[in-house]
Amino acid sequence: MTQNLAELFDVVDEQDLVTGQALRREVHARGWRHRAVHLLVINAAGQVFLQKRSMTKDLFPGIWDSSAAGHVGAGEDYDGTALRELEEELGCRPQRPPQPLFKIEARAETGQEFVWVYRVRDEGPFTLQAEEIECGDWFSPAAIDRWMAERPQELAPAFLYIWPRARAML
């Protein structure tokens, strides 16, 4: 299965206010501002679950990324999208709702996405959505730091931008 390029997104202005709607393929092709969420799932040992993006993804196929991430669809909000993405990508229904950590302004590193970053406490195991995720694993924060320093090309640009700030809040 390939990405749904006909998915409808809200297009937003520099204040993250909706100005219209457009198809995924057009939003990405034109570099328009839109919305997304990134979730970092942390276990009791302090490890972070990361996913390797499926080779069918339209952006950054085969690259490692946040535990779960996704676009906010037209008419959706950030918190609802966070819960949806956890369930869709990981089959995860946490006991407590995802905790919002911080918001990033739309920028090149995020593909012009305003991004809310969330922390989730969960132990797994997860049921990975094959269309979205090739595989996943738990990593210590120190291992992620080394990975970023030694092989940053293996990590998604948005994750590279998010991680230093998120790490301090885990």
pLDDT digits (tens, 9 = 90+) for 10-33: 999 999 999 999 999 999 999 999
Note if the bond before 152 is cis, omega within 30 degrees.
no
Residue 40: strand, helix, or coil: strand
Residue 18's nearest CA partner among 10, 9, 27, 8 is 10
pLDDT tens-digit map of 108-162:
999 999 999 999 999 999 999 999 999 999 999 999 999 999 999 999 999 999 9
62: left (phi over 0), alpha (psi -120 to 50) or beta: left
Mean pLDDT of the chain: 94
Residues 8, 168: Cα–Cα separation, whole Å: 34
Looking at 3.40.47.10, 3.40.50.12280, 3.10.450.50, 3.90.79.10, the CATH number of the domain 8-167 comes to: 3.90.79.10
Please state the domain extents for the chain: 8-167
